[in-house]
């Protein structure tokens, strides 16, 4: 039987709900030319057949760590709720999406 590879190698955690800031910890993405070139996309697989949408703006990145400012709107609020839902589990799983983005599924 073939071995199943774990696609979820990165984590997303809430830094501050009031300022709408999250942090992604994971390997450096190969397509990021500049540190703030990274993207955060969110896929709500229960909400329909929409493609994942870019949800955050990277304002600080250093190696394996990147901080994102989450935008306004219903989808962005649902991402923040998803990340902050379980206080005893501070991190949510993410995975690489393309060469410059991380994907959070919810």
| pLDDT reported for residue 1 | 46
Question: How do residues 23-74 score in pLDDT, each as one tens digit?
Answer: 999 888 887 778 788 899 998 776 666 778 899 899 998 888 999 999 999 9
Locate 71 and state its tokens.
């935008």
Checking if the pLDDT of 20 tops 90, the result is yes
- 76 φ, ψ to 5°? -65, -40
Beta-carbon contacts of 90 under 8 Å, excluding residues fewer than 6 positions away, are 13, 14
SS3 state at 84: helix
pTM for this entry: 0.82
């Amino acid at each position: 039987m073939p071995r199943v590879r774990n696609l979820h190698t990165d984590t997303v955690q809430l830094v501050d709900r009031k300022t709408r800031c999250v942090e992604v910890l994971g390997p450096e993405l190969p397509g990021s030319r500049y540190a703030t070139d990274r993207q955060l996309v969110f896929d709500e697989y229960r909400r329909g057949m929409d493609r994942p949408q870019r949800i955050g703006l990277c304002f600080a990145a250093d190696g394996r760590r990147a901080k994102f400012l989450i935008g306004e709107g219903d989808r962005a609020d649902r991402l923040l709720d998803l990340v902050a839902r379980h206080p005893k589990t501070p991190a949510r799983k993410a995975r690489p999406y393309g060469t410059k983005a991380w994907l959070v599924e919810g």
